[in-house]
Each structure stands twice: as structure tokens, then as C-alpha cells.
Amino acid sequence: MTASPQPDGVRTTVVTGAASGIGRALCELLDARGERVIDVDLHGASVVADLSTGQGVAAMAEEVARRTGGVVDAVAANAGTTATPELAVLVNYFGAVRTLDALRPLLTRSSAPRAVATASSAVFYDSDRALAEACLADDEVTALALAPPLGQMAYAASKRALARWVRRQAPTANWAGAGIALNAVGPGIVETPMMAPMIADPVASAGLAKSLPMPFGGYARAEHIAQVLAFFTAATTERITGQVLFVDGGAHCHHAGDDIW
Ligand SMILES: NC(=O)c1ccc[n+]([C@@H]2O[C@H](COP(=O)([O-])OP(=O)(O)OC[C@H]3O[C@@H](n4cnc5c(N)ncnc54)[C@H](O)[C@@H]3O)[C@@H](O)[C@H]2O)c1
């Protein structure tokens, strides 16, 4: 691994889903710390890309390489959607995994490379295992066929697959072997545009409180999740890889208890 050739020593982090919510909060945090941020989104970002397609991801990676001279220190694969079951699969799993894979060669040229994905506490739900397995088998056709009847549970399955992909990939030669940390953050319910309609609806909100109780402080704000993503992108965070850290106000304790090891 070669040392980062960036002459000013400033770290460069790519953030996807950067125009809104958690991604925007992460960009603001890194910017305030004096770091260089490459913000990627469908719109309202300096790199505009549709990460729901392989071509969109490839074009994004090409543009990032052009802007950085081929060296990236950290990637936060954060773009996500609940818009439709198909888009949940395409963006939340395939888009995130393709983003991490496409930018991995640029990470190998950093002296302290870090990658993090935004998963979800929705991985706790007993979502469809066949869909998650189709994603992990890189079988987009089957995954897209399985998604529509699942409705919102396709979102949970896409995030479960993403979290499992992180666990499987982190210790491999491509990641740990190349010195690249690969982790995930699993937010509980966060007050962002994605969740605003559900939070505003009393019935949906009561359902959320029951299925994902957050006794420690209630709903999170985007800034809370950004702090933890920034922890995982930092050069000073060492020896942590393959972790899925839930930032969920205690919801995981409620679901899993202490019998997880
Ligand atoms: N808000 C929550 O409660 C919550 C909980 C758990 C996980 N998450 C995850 O956190 C991440 C950020 O979500 P948020 O809450 O900030 O939502 P948000 O809707 O505010 O932001 C998501 C961003 O992703 C972008 N995006 C969507 N599809 C894209 C595509 N095809 N190509 C490029 N960009 C695309 C959107 O344009 C948007 O800017 C997502 O992965 C989401 O699934 C959110």
C-alpha cells in the first residue's frame, strides 16, 4: 500500500446520499473538520449520479477518480430509499455494494483507508431471507422478482443483505488484506425527510414505537448518525472492521436481549 499522495494531507471522503438527511449532516461535519468531501446524489450534489444502476455507479466512480487523482481516503455508502420495493433493492443493496466495490481501488492508495455503509435497525425484523440471499448471490433478476410482494419488508431485507455483505467482505483479502476497514452503521428511526411522513402520521408512528422502541432519547437526528459514520471514516479509528454498530437508542437490546454471542 502506498501512502496517500495528497500534498496537503487533507483526507478525502466520498459521501453518497449527500443531498439530504444523514448524508448531508455527514458532509457538514467533515467539512467543519476541514476535510475534503465529494458529495454524490441524484440531484443537489457536486457529483450527480443514479446509483440504482451499474452504469450510474461506474460513471460516479470515474468522476470521483478524475476529481481525486485516483486516491480516496474514505467512502460512506449512505444513499438509500424506501420509494418502492424494487428501488430499495437496487439502491440500498446493489447501489451500496457496487459503490464500495467501484471505489475500493481508489481506497487502496490511501494510507488509512476506511469504508462504511448505512444499514438499518430494520435488519432486526424477520424479513425475507430469500431476497437477502438473492442479493448476496449477486442475483439482481431474482431479487427484483422477489421484492414487490414484500412491500416495505423489501427495505428491511435489502439492509439485512447489506449488513451481511459487510460482515462477509470485511475480513477478506480485498478489504482487511488491503488494509481497508469496512463497517456499517444501523440507525434506528431518524428524523429525516425519508421518515418524516411516517413520524407525522400518528398511526404509523405508534407502530414504529412498538416495533422499534428507542428508550434512550427517542428518535435520532441526522447529526447523531453522522457522528458515528465519521468515527468509522476517521484515520484514528483502528482495528475495527466487520462491525454493524446500531445507533438506535436501545432498540437492539429490546429485540435481541443479551444472547448475541
Ligand atoms: N431515516 C431513518 O430513520 C433511517 C433509518 C435507518 C437507515 N436509514 C438509512 O440512512 C440512509 C440515509 O437516509 P436518510 O434518512 O438521510 O434519507 P433521505 O431521504 O433524507 O436521504 C437519502 C438520500 O439518498 C439519495 N438517493 C436515493 N436514491 C438514490 C439513487 N438512486 N442514487 C443516488 N442517490 C440516491 C436521495 O436523493 C437522498 O438525498 C439511507 O441509506 C437510509 O436507508 C435511515
Say what the pLDDT of residue 259 is.
Answer: 85
Beta strands in 43-154 (DSSP E): 47-48, 74-77, 114-118
Atom number of ligand 1 nearest to Cα 191: 1
For residue 92, the ligand 1 atom closest to its alpha carbon is 41
Query: What mean pLDDT is predicted for residues 63-75?
Result: 98
The three-state secondary structure class of 12 is strand
User: What are the tens digits of pLDDT across the range 123-144?
Assistant: 988 778 999 999 999 999 999 9
- Exposure string of 127-163, with b = 16+ CB inside 10 Å and e = fewer, is bbeebbbbbbeeeeeebbebbeebeebbbbbbbbbbb
Minimal CA–CA distance to 233: which of 61, 72, 121, 102?
72
The alpha carbon torsion through 215, 217, 223, 224 (nearest 10 deg) reads -50
**Residues involved in catalysis:** 155
Alpha carbons 215 and 172: distance in angstroms, whole number: 36
Whether the pLDDT of residue 160 is over 50: the answer is yes
81 lines ligand 1 (CB under 6 A): yes
Q: Which residues contact 86 (CB under 8 A, 6 or more apart)?
A: 144, 147, 148, 154
Residue 103 has pLDDT above 50, yes or no: yes
The reported pTM is: 0.96
Grid cell 439485512 is found at 160
CA of 23 to the centre of ligand 1 (A): 7
pLDDT at 9: 82
Cα–Cα–Cα angle for 170, 176, 179, nearest 5°? Answer: 135
